[in-house]
Chains A and B, each alone.
Chain A
Amino acid sequence: MLISLSAFFLVAGAVFFLAGTLGLLRFPDVYTRLHALTKADNLGLGLMVLGLMLQAESLAAAGKLLFIWLLLLAASATAGQLVASWAQGKGIAPWRR
């Protein structure tokens, strides 16, 4: 039961990663690509962490996994902000249809 739940989360996470990667490759400008990277991939990693936490040997190990996810959230938010503000400073206009 636990295993199949874990597998479900892992696969779901992988799907979000795939979507994020697709967005990175297909989206038209730097701002939209940032969306793909930060949103979809963070969610994907979160699901994977959840799936792995279910298999974790101890509470401490599960905590470490959760911690990694939180760190990544903070780091990717900052990185996204840095890239976007650099692009804005460079005068790259957001894409419009």
Chain B
Amino acid sequence: MASLNLLPLAIDLVLALTLLWLAWRALSSPDLFRAVVLFIALGLVLGLVWVRLDAVDIALAEIALGAGVTGALLLAALAKLQSAEAETADASTEQEGDWQGCSQALAEPDAKSKPTLTASATMDATGSAMPIALRILLALLLLVPLAGLGWVVWQLWLPAPGLTDLVAARLEASGVAHPVTAVLLNFRGYDTLLELAVLLLALLGVWSLSSAPHLGDEEQEPALAALSRLLAPLMILVAAYLVWVGAHAPGGAFQAGSVLGAAGVLLRLSGWRVPPRATGWPLRLVLVLGVVVFACMGLVVMAFGQPLLGYPPGWAKPALLAIELAATLSIGAILAALFIGGRP
């Protein structure tokens, strides 16, 4: 019996140690490409950890956003940085791994980057600014917060009053049957609205920094194009399913949005373009749709004597569905646009 109880704990211990090891390797690897790949692996293992912790929603989001989108963004950025570096005709400081060029193959050489200061451009190497003694000192100093935080977590061992019961008591009135979705869209909907605004803000920031579209203008691989044509409609279907299922099971707008975004990226990579006449205000409208629908819905109810973002009884369900659909579209479009980089 005891061994049966110990087995899950042993698995969890291995998972936790894997997490720490991957994080350490990702942060200390001298090869940037390897670091990014290890970081993506970290995200995937983290996804497993979330499943172990009964947080399936987070697991989905972690794998789609934390590992998937972040990983894709990192790889794309790395490819652009390194192709710019190759252009300055310096000896590359990064060790060329077998797989490294894969990321380069994804991106065209960044023609816009200026010829640059070169002597210093390659100085990075394994890239620490600090002498080793200082680093050791810092590591020793960091043992204090490590021990302190560990001690505090140990203190938190005793179960504290959470909000589980309160959420369960009000779930009926929230318009959805899945507690996490209820918290996200109804109980703490104000946070989620602003979070959508943060995502949009990131795109505004990215577009304010660069003007040229960067990615996906290279020659296409026929196999990739074929797969994209096969997968894109499927992914749209999966996104729709995730929105729908979010009402009563793990899933929802953010997970669905990232699937939609991935579909957009695939289509882009296989040569599809947003038609030029749609890149102006129609595209911008899609990008802001989620925030607009959410915000307007929240304000309109005030005219009916409800509080801000407080849906009248019986109206919560359709309202939340409309918000989720609009948010999914916008999240998908924003994520794809973030990956592509330059504004149209």
User: In the complex, are there CB atoms of A and B closer than 8 Å?
Assistant: yes
Question: A residues engaging B (CB < 8 A)?
Answer: 30, 71, 74-75, 77-78, 81-83, 85-86, 89-90
Query: Bound state CA distance, A89 and B219, in angstroms?
Result: 13
Q: When A30-B98, A74-B230 are in contact, do A86 and B224 touch as well, CB less than 8 Å? A: no
Cross-chain contact A78 with B102 (CB below 8 angstroms) = no
- Among all A-B residue pairs, the 5 with the closest Cβ atoms: A78-B227, A81-B223, A86-B105, A78-B223, A30-B98
B105 — which chain A residues lie within 8 A by C-beta? 82, 86, 89
Q: Are A81 and B102 in contact (CB under 8 A)?
A: no
In the assembled complex, the CB of A48 is this many whole angstroms from the nearest CB of chain B, namely 16
Contact code string B92-108 (vs A, CB < 8 Å = 1, else 0)? 00000011011001000
Q: Which residue of A lies closest to B227 (CB)?
A: A78
Contact with A along B195-233 (1 / 0, CB 8 A): 000000000000000000000000001011011001100
Which of B101, B226, B227, B231 touches A86 (beta carbons < 8 Å)? Answer: B101
A77 close to B223 (CB less than 8 A):
yes
User: Inside 8 A of B102's CB, which chain A residues have their CB?
Assistant: 82-83, 86
How many angstroms between the C-alpha atoms of A89 and B226 in the bound complex? 20
Expressed in whole angstroms, the Cα–Cα distance for A50 and B227 within the complex equals 24
Given the contacts A30-B98, A90-B101, A85 and B227 also touching, CB distance less than 8 Å? no
With a CB–CB cut-off of 8 A, which chain B residues contact A78? 223-224, 226-227
Contact (Cβ within 8 A) A75 B227: yes
Q: For A77, what are the chain B residues with a Cβ–Cβ distance below 8 Å? A: 223
State whether A74 and B227 are in contact (beta carbons under 8 Å apart), knowing that A82-B221, A85-B221 are contacts in the complex. yes
How far is it, in angstroms, between the C-alpha of A6 and the C-alpha of B101 when the chains are bound?
41
Q: Which residue from chain A places its CB closest to the CB of B105 in the assembled complex?
A: A86
Nearest chain-B residue to A90 (Cβ)? Answer: B101
Q: Which residue of B lies closest to A85 (CB)?
A: B221
Q: Apart from A71-B234, A83-B99, list 8 A-B contacts with CB within 8 A.
A: A75-B231, A78-B223, A78-B224, A82-B223, A85-B221, A86-B102, A86-B105, A89-B105
Q: Collect the chain A residues with CB atoms within 8 Å of residue B234's CB.
A: 71
> With a CB–CB cut-off of 8 A, which chain A residues contact B101?
86, 90
Shortest distance between the CB of B278 and any CB in chain A (Å): 28
- Min CB distance A89 to B, Å, is 8
Q: B226's closest neighbor in chain A, by CB?
A: A78
Assembly CA distance A39 to B221 (angstroms): 21
Q: What are the residues of chain B within 8 A of A74 when measuring CB–CB? A: 227, 230-231
Pairs A–B under 8 Å by Cβ, sample size 22: A30-B98, A71-B231, A74-B227, A74-B230, A75-B227, A75-B231, A77-B223, A78-B223, A78-B224, A78-B226, A78-B227, A81-B221, A81-B223, A82-B102, A82-B105, A82-B221, A82-B223, A82-B224, A86-B101, A86-B102, A86-B105, A89-B105
A65 to chain B, nearest CB (A): 15
Residue of A nearest to B222 (CB): A81
Residue of B nearest to A75 (CB): B227
Contact with A along B288-330 (1 / 0, CB 8 A): 0000000000000000000000000000000000000000000
Looking at the assembled complex, report how far the CB atom of A61 sits from the nearest CB atom of chain B, in whole angstroms.
13
Give chain A residues whose Cβ lies under 8 Å from the Cβ of B230: 74
Q: How far, in angstroms, from A75 to B99 measured CA to CA in the complex?
A: 18
Residues on B with beta carbons closer than 8 Å to the beta carbon of A89 = 105
State in angstroms the CA–CA spacing of A76 and B101 once bound together.
18
